[in-house]
Amino acid sequence: MALQIEGTAWVFGDDINTDLILPGAAFLLPVEEQIKYCFSANRPGWSDEVQPGDIVVAGTNFGLGSARPIGNVFARLGVAGIIASTFNGLGLRNCVNYGVHVLPCPDAIDTIADGDRIAVDWQAGTVRNLSQGSEISGKALPQALLDIAEAGGVIPVLKSEGLLEDAE
């Protein structure tokens, strides 16, 4: 991933929980099968439409629910990051741990429309809406979390530090 990215926005509402992101019926499937079910309950076919580098935009309390590997699903789909008014702590950590950037940004849901082209600077916490010619600011994550997301997640960080060996 990159600390600055341009992509298409996919806008969802408030309280997007892990059941909506990764339905229970898909949870025990291999990861490559799981991704086909991402958002299937509230936006059927989304996993076929999303493109690498695209960005999910949501309202309040994104990622609430159980500890399903939503970050892994987003990473495998190529989602560059999630911008939400607020994040549930579990959802935020899960995304960062799998290398998906997140940006808390209260104004995003009111100023970004589905399909808008947006440019995000995860480090500065800024979002430029290229389609509408506007800019908003959020609260960038601490540098340590940005570094984990940028490295591709916590596993690559642990491997690079010699704290985890590759499983053969």
The pTM assigned to this predicted structure is 0.94
Whether 105 is covered by a domain: the verdict is yes
Query: Which is more confident, 156 or 168?
Result: 156
For 102-119, the pLDDT digits (tens) are: 999 999 999 999 999 999
Whether 145 is covered by a domain: the verdict is yes
Per the structure, the complete domain to which residue 35 belongs is given by: 4-160
Q: Sign of torsion, CA 84 99 96 37?
A: positive
Whether 167 is covered by a domain: the verdict is no
For 124-146, the pLDDT digits (tens) are: 999 999 999 999 999 999 999 99
Residue-level pLDDT at 1: 61
pLDDT band for 167, please (50, 70, 90 cuts).
low
Amino acid at 58: A
Whether 91 is covered by a domain: the verdict is yes
Amino acid at 99: G
Q: How many domains does the chain have?
A: 1
Whether 141 is covered by a domain: the verdict is yes
Whether 166 is covered by a domain: the verdict is no
Whether 165 is covered by a domain: the verdict is no
* Average pLDDT of the chain to the nearest whole number: 95
Q: How far, in Å, are 48, 56, 71, 128, 134 from residue 89 at the CA level?
A: 28, 17, 13, 25, 28
Please give the Cα distance from 15 to 109 (Å, whole number).
Answer: 12
Whether 168 is covered by a domain: the verdict is no
Q: Which residues pair with 9 in a beta bridge?
A: 55
Q: What is the CATH number of the domain that holds 74?
A: 3.20.19.10
For 26-72, the pLDDT digits (tens) are: 988 998 999 999 999 999 999 999 999 999 999 999 999 988 899 99
Q: Would you state the structure tokens that stand for residue 146, as one six-digit string? A: 């940005």
121 by Cβ neighbours in 10 Å (0-12 / 13-18 / 19+) ranks as: middle
Q: How far, in Å, are 44, 47, 49, 86, 151 from residue 33 at the CA level?
A: 15, 11, 16, 29, 25
